[in-house]
Structure formats: C-alpha cells, structure tokens
A and B are shown apart, each in its own frame.
Chain A
Amino acid sequence: MARNVPDDGKPSRNERIDAAEASGETGGLIETSVTTEDSDEHSTPGRTIIESRGVDVFYDDVQALRGVDMEIPENRVTAMIGPSGCGKSTFLRTINRMNDLVDSARVEGELRFGGTNVYDEGVDPVALRRRIGMVFQSPNPFPKSIYDNAAYGLKVQDKTDDIDDRVERALRDAALWDEVQDRLDESGLELSGGQQQRLCIARAIAVDPDVLLMDEPASALDPVATSKVEDLIADLAEEYTVVIVTHNMQQAARISDKTAVFLTGGELVEFGDTNEIFENPEHDRVEDYITGKFG
C-alpha cells in the first residue's frame, strides 16, 4: 500500500511554514510546539483542537465513514469504540492524513486541526504529521537500536540539539527508561511486546507533538503490559491530546474523558462524555453495543 504514496517531496523548513500559513492560522501553532513548556503555556485543556465536520471517507466506491461530526478536546483522552469495520481506525488515520498512503482512499468534508482544514490545498501532510504523532496497533519499532528508535523523529525533524536529553525524557515519559537505560544500543526488536509498544510511544512523544493518535495500542499486548500502557495514557493526557481507538470498552471507560461510538456502516452514532455514554446512552443501538448484546 505504501508503494504508492503521493509525492511528499521534502520541503525546506521555510516552505513548510509557508504552506501552513497559506492555509490558515497554523503559523502560531508552529511556534508553540518548540518545547514542552511552551505548548503547556499555550494549550487550553478542554478547548476543541480537532473538529470534524461532515467527514466522508471512501475506499474506491465503498463508503467507510458517513458525515462524521466530532470535536476533540485538547489535553484530554478521547476514545473511539465500535465493532470491527465500523470506521474508527479510518477516522483516526484521516486526522493525520495517513489515508493519503492508500491510493483508493478519498476524503470529503472538513477536518480542522487548530482551525486549519488539513485537507486544504497547500497543507503539507509531512508538516501535519510532525504535530500529530501516531502509535500503531501492533508494536512496529524500527530494526534499529533502542536509542535510534527514540531519536528517529528528532533526527527527521531536525530537533537534534540536546538529542540525548530529549531521548531520555521521552523514554522516561513512556515509563521505559528504567528498563532500557543500560542497553540503549541493543535493537528495539530485542524488547518484549509491551516494551516495544512503549518504545513506539516514546518515539512518538520524543518530537513533542500536540496530539497523539493511538490505534488499538494495547490489542497485541498481554494484560500486564496492557495495564502499563493504560497507566501511561492517563499520564500522557496531562501533556498531550490523546485520541485512542480501542475495541475494548472497559478500556475506553477506564481511560477516556470523551467517547465516540461508531457503529457498522461508518456512522458516528454517539459522541459525548465517557460517563454519559456508558451510564446513560441516548441510542438503543449504542446501549446494546456497550452492554454486549452485539459486536
């Protein structure tokens, strides 16, 4: 699939900023993400950072998402749940334009990040992905050393000053430092599955993105590793906006502030505070789903 990625020619730093500015108000956001401290000062927990308006996604003629409207709050955990094939992962990949990598995918509607429609002409998906990190379903560390895994994004994004400190901070924030500090030169593939996933989280947060997208990050892990990753997600929400796809409803209930329920057909059926969704869902279909009557 990645075979046919549209051309992401490497833009110079200036071009990237130009492209972002040309498309709207992201100029200010670019400055805020330089350091963690800065982004903390500027972020407003609870304010909408990602806004979806009537988003449709098609794979060739098959419609995977239908008119999704959603507001994702800053520095909160937003969970997306639903049965297999409901489009929750598709929506996640729509946010950072990972669907660009799929030739047959087509997106309609508006998806605003910090006020800018990320599908506007002139928006550089590379610049977008530098602000929106992603953690995938099964751990996918690079076949490189633990250090190089954590440092990869920093190198690609030219954030190489204090790189050792940044790597250490990322590994600490991912609750992995104590386990790997003596073996940073070993391959990331030597780690256990749970450690690999935390390494992937470290890799994503090392570059200090605004948003962290997580696509069923614990689904390939055992229960102990899962609970470690869940604890981590709760901590991460203090610094990052976390959007997590999960098929595990208990997990969504435990860790998220907001929950979106997608049901078959690519429809966002209900979106709201997690407590509301789980205790008092508006729709019968949602109630049936979360009480386990189907799905």
Chain B
Amino acid sequence: MDDQIRTESTRLQLTGGERSRVARERVYRLVLFLCAALSVVVTVTIVVALAVDAVEFFGMVDPVDFFTGTTWVTARDQFGVLPLVTGTLLVTAVSALVAIPIGVASAIYLSEYASPRARSVLKPGLEILAGIPTVVYGYLALIYLTDFLRGLGLDLGTFNVLSASIMVGIMIIPMVSSLSEDAMSAVPDSLREAGYGLGATKYEVSTGIVVPAALSGIFSSFILALSRAIGETMIVVMAMGLRPRMFDLTDPVGSLAESGQTMTSAMVQAVTSDVGAASPTYKSMFALGLTLFAITFAMNLLSNAIAARHREEYQ
C-alpha cells in the first residue's frame, strides 16, 4: 500500500549501508570462529596423531593380546595393558576415596557454615593446594607420606600404590571442593529459608536441601577430579614405582602396599627409555595414550549425561 502512496524519492533509505561496516563484522565473526574452532582442531589432531602411531603399534602387537594380556614387560615384548589399566583404576579409586568425602565436606563448610573470616583464610588455602606443582606432591609422597604411613604400622614398600594414591587424592581435593562449592552457592537462598522456616537445623538444610539441589554440579566435580586423577603422571612416576602389577583381588592390601604402575607412568617410561623410535616399546606409548584418551573421554560423556539428567532442578 505504502509503495503506491510514496514516491521513490520520499521512501526511507534503509538498505545499502556502509560496506566497510559489513566487512568488519565478517572479519570479527571469522576471527572468533577460528579461536573457537582451534580446540576442536587440536583435539582431532591429537586423536589422529595417536591413532596413526597406534595403528603401527597394533601392526606389531595383536590388539587382542594388548587389551586382554595381563603381563606388561616391554623388554620381553609382552604388551598386556591390563596391569596398567588396573593400576590406573586403583590409583583413581583410592584417590576418590580420599578426595570426595573431604572435598564435599569442605565445600559444605565453605558454602553453608563458614564465616566470611574463615572463608577468607580457607579459600586461598585451597587455591594454593591446587597450584602446587605435582612434582612436589610426588616428592612429599615418596619422602614423607610413606614414612608417616609406616609410622601408623603399615608395611609399605619404598615405592607403593597407597601413598601415591593418597597424594593424588589430596591433589584433587581443591577441584572437588571448589566446583562443589560453586554448585552449592548457586542454590537459591529461598530454598534454605524454606528449610529453616520448617524448623530444620543447619545440618539438615545443608545435607537435605542444598546438597541434593546441587547434585549435578557436585557429580560433575567428581568426574572432572577423577579424570584428573586418571591422567596424573608425576606423582605416580615418583612415588609408585615402575613395576606393572595386576590388581590382586585376593590380596587388595598387598596390592596397595607394593609398587605398581599406571598407564601414564608406562608412557613416561617408554618415551624416556633409550629404545628406537620404531620399536614396539616406543610405539606402545601411542596405544596407551589412545586408551587413556578413550577412558577420559568416556568419563566426560558420563559427566555431561549426569549433569543433563540433574540439570538445575531448582528454578
């Protein structure tokens, strides 16, 4: 209608704006996209690089032997990955036993109980714990923690799984506590007030209302911390020894008291040993890396699935 009334000259000019502005927008968009794409490119590159060498490794070693073998002695070309996988899982499990209760308890304290004064001391303390280089933790485990545990009457080897695992646990406490605290702090105060209004105590409100409402975030913190424990290298290289050992279900205490080896530690050994770059020992590093990647990737998927299931149930 308007078109018929208005003449060409009176019509509002809204098209054909400044060409340079449009061009600038395109550049911004492209730069931002490239940055966002970088992480994906790197991830894909890593997987491809690992896969190429791993395929070469599996040309030399039967994948079935690799994934089902229970002996890892590279010098004798025995590449059974299970002792390393159980070693890794043992470290992860023990560190989880240390980090999850302590981490969640500190998160509850910081989020629900602590006075601003107490928080101002404790929070930086935890952050410092997160900033200590893992080589220092490894040293502490080897020199002090093992001695301390022996003082408690445990019969431990110089290198042992227990001390390394506990130290990995201590290392990941800040991840659990800080992410869990964020999740708990995000629970609206109206839910706490509802609890107090019904005559609940602080402990009942914290554990019965705040923790359940923050559960998805708390679970995510567990998964992230455990992924970190699975990938931890320095502490286990220094304090756990280098002897791959199947976890012995009939003697779990013995398995903890002796030395062991994780996948990460075996990779370090492969890359630092003086074998040729074409040898199966050297190539085994890539197969191990790929296996490790698959495990942590699965953990991340699990974490996302859990977070989606419990996603912000409060409003």
Q: What residues of chain A have their CB less than 8 Å away from a CB belonging to chain B?
A: 1-5, 7-11, 96, 98, 101, 126-127, 129-131, 133-134, 136, 138, 140-144, 152-153, 156-157, 187, 189, 200, 203-204, 207
Contact = CB atoms under 8 A, between A and B. Distances in A.
B144 interface: no
B202 A7 contact: yes
Contacts of B199: 126-127, 129-131, 153, 156-157, 207
Contacts of B116: 4
Nearest to B204: A156
Interface string B169-210: 000000000000000010011111111111111111100110
Nearest to B112: A3
B208 A156 contact: yes
A153 B198 contact: yes
B213 interface: yes
A129 B197 contact: yes
Contact of B192 (A2, A10, A11): A2
Nearest to B110: A3
29 contacts: A2-B192, A2-B193, A2-B196, A3-B112, A3-B185, A8-B201, A9-B201, A9-B203, A96-B197, A101-B192, A129-B196, A129-B197, A130-B198, A134-B198, A136-B197, A140-B191, A140-B194, A142-B195, A142-B209, A143-B314, A144-B212, A152-B198, A153-B199, A156-B208, A157-B198, A189-B315, A203-B194, A203-B198, A207-B199
A133 B194 CA distance: 9
A156 B314 CA distance: 20
Nearest to A153: B198
Nearest to B315: A189
B220 interface: no
Contact of B189 (A1, A133, A141, A142): A1
A5 B206 CA distance: 11
Please classify how large the interface on chain B is, using the bins under 10, 10 to 19, 20 to 34, 35 or more: 20 to 34
Nearest to A100: B196
Contacts of B106: none
Contacts, number: 101
B204 A10 contact: yes
B313 interface: yes
Given A9-B201, A136-B193, A203-B194, 15 more contacts: A5-B112, A5-B192, A8-B196, A10-B202, A10-B203, A10-B204, A101-B196, A129-B197, A129-B198, A136-B190, A142-B191, A153-B198, A156-B198, A156-B199, A156-B208
Given A4-B115, A143-B314, A133 B197 contact: yes
From B185, B197, B212, B313, name the one whose CB has the most chain A CB atoms within 10 angstroms. Answer: B197
Nearest to A96: B197
Interface string B296-315: 00000000000000000111
Contacts of A153: 198-200
A7 B195 CA distance: 15
From A129, A156, A200, name the one whose CB has the most chain B CB atoms within 10 angstroms. Answer: A156
Contacts of A144: 212
A101 B199 CA distance: 13
Nearest to A156: B200
A264 B200 CA distance: 33
Interface in B77-116: 111-112, 114-116
Contacts of B205: 2
A189 B193 contact: no
B111 A3 contact: yes
B193 A126 contact: no
B196 A98 contact: yes
From B114, B190, B213, name the one whose CB has the most chain A CB atoms within 10 angstroms. Answer: B190
Contacts of A2: 112, 189, 192-193, 196, 205
